[in-house]
Chains A and B, each alone.
Chain A
Amino acid sequence: MSASAPVMAADLACLITKNNTNPFFVKMKEGAEAAATAAGLDFKAYAGEKDGDASPQLTAIENCVLAGAKGILITPSNDSVGPLLKEARDAGVLVIALDTPLADPEAQDMTFATDNFEAGLLIGKWAAATLGDAAADAKIGMLDINKDNISVDVARDTGFLVGFGIDVPDLTVMGSETDPRVIGHEISGANPEGGVMSVENLLAKEPDMNVVYTINEPAAEGAYQALTKAGKSDVLVVSVDGGCPGIASVKAGVIGATSQQYPLLMASKGIEAIVAYAKDGTKPVASEGLSFFNTGVNLVTDHPVEGVPSIDSDKGMELCWG
């Protein structure tokens, strides 16, 4: 197959997400499907099962290549999918990582993602500024996805801590900080059940916890439930995602601030890139000064602070997904 063939109805685009249960990926799928249909591409969506479990995604990549896909959009569960994606690229498939870059630059043509470190930085700065002088003896609980050091997980976690003003010696792994203000890192699985359990565990360690960082809004929902059950109402909960239910939580005061990202944009830009590649072989390029194509991030809060640019929950609602 030559890369310069015109786009025909037979050109296939694949989307492989991490799972079918997180609304972020469900929305991404809808966005990609709509964009593919509009561009006259065949479209097929696959999903993994759990963060960190590569097996179902490996099977999906194989099946996409078998089906003769022109391009694969993937949110990798972990870096084990790298070698197979490299093979796909060698076979002339355009590979674009969405949301989560792959460690191996050879395994992808480009990443379309939120600057997740930036997303963490914004909520960290906001939390520190909101606490004011009390930030010096804050008690912070961290709700990560798991202990796998998935790139998104690491970037948001360390970004938040740096934004809060905590010294993080190693930005490539979670938990390298020694600051006593951090109570601990818990495995939330990025879902509500995990959020509940994580907060219960953290409160058992430190009943006076007053800041909770969460990897995403489903985990934040769970965190809030557990805090309410424990009778704690003065805890700052911050998150990342900006899905419509999450923005509603910001409005309701469940979440203090969240960094909103734009998965529909990732998906539609990804499909656009496949169309361009199918047409004349052009490949997407990175944003200025970054190693990936930045799809942007906004801090959403109804309690803005000095020095941290933000939009309110009404504006967030206009831009939200899910």
Chain B
Amino acid sequence: MSKDGSPTKTISDFEAGLAKADANVASFAKDDRNLFYMMRGFLRAHPTTIPTLVLIVSVIAFGIIAPRFLTPLALSTVLQQVTVTGIIAIAQTLIILTAGIDLSVGAVLVVTSLIMGNLAVHMGVPLPFAVIIGMFFGALMGWLNGVLVAVIKLPPFIVTLGTLSIFTALKLWYSGSESVRNADIVEKAPGLLWFGEAFRFGGAKLTYGSISLVVVAVLVWFLLNRTAWGRHVHAIGDDPDAARLSGIRTRRTLISVYVLAGAICGFAGWVAIGRVGSVSPISFETVNLGSITAVVIGGTSLFGGRASIMGSVLGALIVGVFNTGLSLAGVDDYWQLFAAGTLVIIAVALDQWLRRASQ
């Protein structure tokens, strides 16, 4: 444009035509047609909002209807009861973020705790080595899942259904179906029980296991949200082909997710020994379903690409609050299962509704 407003086309004036064009770069449309859509957009962007609200509301509700629920002891007991499921749920969140699912988590946990128990109690291996070897085997089992999923390209559901049976067979063979007894652990390797130890203050009983749940959650949250690896995992979960085309080593990254999840299950094996006091080969057989329940209630999408570590911990807590709350309210055990099932279905319906927000 010339000073007097007359058009003066020169050879180097190519970009003059852009003067009236929109200077914004491409961006997602903000869906603010009304309050309802704005709320939906907000919830999509902040997945922990709903589980946080549900947790607060349910704690208050049970505080009103269940005697003794709002006491430090009761609330810290809930935390103890969900510790193992919570740690497993963190591992499960990693897998579900990649649009997978892991049915073998409980079997991995039991195999690793049997290895730790056997090494430390029956073979006199020093505790740190026993724990590290146990966690290594947890990672190894995760690696096997990862290779079958990422390299052989089998569906995660089928792979982990298979390895659930394989690891179950191994744990029964390895243990001869026998428990590592509490008395032997206390006598020979009391360090295995460390995560069952507790601080006590004002009636509350906070175990080191519960603290470890928070620590694991923070570490994994950091990995997922503050590292390049975490961005790659999100990308793979969202669209594996796009991730591959943009230069992410999808196979290697996917295997690393399963390895990390396996190692976390191994750590949960150590925490579980503290919780139960012995190592029984037939314990924790339903923790896989419990962990999936926690992840779903916590707002992680089963379709991959969107996960909330803190949400999964909250999900485990919600189930725990319902169980203890209903129990203290004098409700029969089977209604606790009923409540957990209802929560899962509501959570998935909500997830579907939020997904539609982006379409």
The residues of A with any CB-CB pair to B shorter than 8 Å are 20, 42, 44-47, 49-50, 52-55, 58-59, 62-63, 66-68, 78-80, 82-83, 103-104, 146-149, 187
Contact = CB atoms under 8 A, between A and B. Distances in A.
21 contacts: A20-B333, A46-B327, A46-B333, A50-B282, A52-B280, A53-B280, A54-B277, A54-B278, A62-B77, A66-B324, A67-B67, A67-B68, A78-B179, A78-B280, A79-B278, A80-B277, A82-B277, A147-B178, A148-B177, A148-B178, A148-B179
Given A59-B81, A104-B183, 4 more contacts: A50-B282, A66-B73, A78-B278, A82-B277
Interface string B279-300: 0111111100000000000000
B74 interface: yes
A80 B73 contact: no
B275 interface: yes
Contacts of B182: 79-80, 82-83
Contact of B74 (A66, A83, A148): A66
Interface in B17-65: none
Contact of B280 (A20, A45, A63, A148): A148
A55 B287 CA distance: 11
B333 A55 contact: no
Given A55-B283, A63-B328, A83 B68 contact: no
B328 A66 contact: yes
A63 B284 contact: no
Nearest to A82: B182
A157 B234 CA distance: 56
A54 B328 contact: no
Nearest to A77: B280
A54 B80 CA distance: 15
Nearest to B186: A83
A9 B332 CA distance: 19
B176 interface: yes
Contacts of A58: 275-276
B77 A54 contact: no
Contacts of B275: 55, 58
A63 to B, nearest CB: 4
B179 A52 contact: yes
Contacts of B73: 66
Nearest to B185: A80
A67 B330 CA distance: 9
Interface residues of B, number: 33
A149 B283 contact: no
Contacts of A79: 181-183, 278
A52 B67 CA distance: 32
Contacts of B67: 67
A187 B283 CA distance: 16
Query: Considering the complex of A and B, which 10 residue pairs feature the smallest CB-CB distances, nearest first?
Result: A147-B177, A80-B278, A80-B277, A63-B327, A53-B283, A147-B178, A52-B280, A62-B77, A66-B74, A80-B182
Interface in B335-349: none
Contact of A47 (B280, B324, B333): B333
Nearest to B176: A147
Contacts of B278: 54, 78-80
Contacts of A53: 280, 282-285
A176 B280 CA distance: 22
Nearest to A148: B179
Contacts of A78: 179, 278, 280
Nearest to A53: B283
A149 B327 CA distance: 31
Nearest to B273: A80
Contacts of B71: 66
A54 B276 contact: yes
Nearest to B326: A63
B68 A66 contact: yes
Contacts of B277: 54, 80, 82-83
A153 B272 CA distance: 26
Contacts of A103: 183
